[in-house]
Amino acid sequence: MTNVKTLIEDWKKDPEFVREYEALEEEFSLASALISARARADMTQEQVAEKMRTSQSYIAKLESGRVSPSMKALQRYAAATGTRLKISLEQ
């Protein structure tokens, strides 16, 4: 059975795969950051929603990448989880 990491490394040799992977990486990095912040705060989606005065389903959509959050929503999420919002642009 092939190790997943080995499989991904093989796929990364394909330039088209790399382009698609990098495009998705941005989307997933935000979702991952949101989930990590909530986990570090030891909170449920419902608890974050209550602090943000929104619904649990909206938090689920934010964390899954199904919606593009506004700057205001990200600031409210950060405040709810006791974190600081930091945005960076990298090359």
Q: What is the CATH number of the domain that holds 57?
A: 1.10.260.40
Integer Cα distance of 52 and 26 in angstroms: 24
8 A C-beta contact, residue 40 and residue 51: no
Q: Is residue 89 part of a domain?
A: no
8 A C-beta contact, residue 23 and residue 64: no
Domain containing 38 equals 4-81
To which residue do tokens 């796929």 refer?
11
pLDDT digits (tens, 9 = 90+) for 38-81: 999 999 999 999 999 999 999 999 999 888 899 999 999 999 99
Strand ranges for the chain from DSSP E = none
Q: Is residue 88 part of a domain?
A: no
pTM: 0.74
Q: Is residue 91 part of a domain?
A: no
Q: Is residue 90 part of a domain?
A: no
| 23 backbone dihedrals φ, ψ, rounded to 5° | -65, -40
Q: What pLDDT, on the 0 to 100 scale, is given for residue 78?
A: 98
Tell me how many domains the chain contains.
1
Q: Is residue 15 part of a domain?
A: yes
Q: Is residue 87 part of a domain?
A: no
Q: Is the dihedral of CA 16, 28, 90, 5 positive or negative?
A: negative
pLDDT digits (tens, 9 = 90+) for 10-42: 888 988 888 887 777 777 889 989 999 999 999
